[in-house]
Amino acid sequence: MDSIPFLHAGRAFKIIFEDDLAFTEVRAILDHLLAQNAFNLDVQGSRIESYSVDVEKSSFQVWVSAMDVVVQRQ
């Protein structure tokens, strides 16, 4: 697995992934997670499941821990 730091919407994230991701995919995934309030520690503490995120013709399973985002292409 690879990881990269990624600045988006004024926040710093660490994206962890196996398959190459386009910047547009990363931004769309982060926008989806931000809309779901996924980076709120109270939400993270109460949520066990991953997020399913569809971007254009791709689907992703995404896990969030603090500001770390693990992305797996489906």
Q: Which sequence spans correspond to the domains of the chain?
A: 2-73
Q: Would you state the pLDDT for residue 47?
A: 75
Cβ partners under 8 Å of residue 65, min gap 6 = 44
Phi-psi category of 43—alpha, beta or left, where left has phi over 0 and alpha has psi -120 to 50? alpha
Q: Would you state the pLDDT for residue 39?
A: 94
Q: Give, as one character, the DSSP assignment of residue 9.
A: T
In the numeric block, which tokens belong to residue 42? Answer: 């109270």
pLDDT tier at 17, thresholds 50, 70, 90: very high
Indicate whether 63 pLDDT > 90.
yes
* Max CA separation in the chain (angstroms): 32
> Is residue 4 within 8 Å of 15, Cβ to Cβ?
yes
> Is residue 73 within 8 Å of 18, Cβ to Cβ?
yes
pLDDT tier at 34, thresholds 50, 70, 90: very high
Q: What is the pTM of this model?
A: 0.91
pLDDT tier at 45, thresholds 50, 70, 90: confident
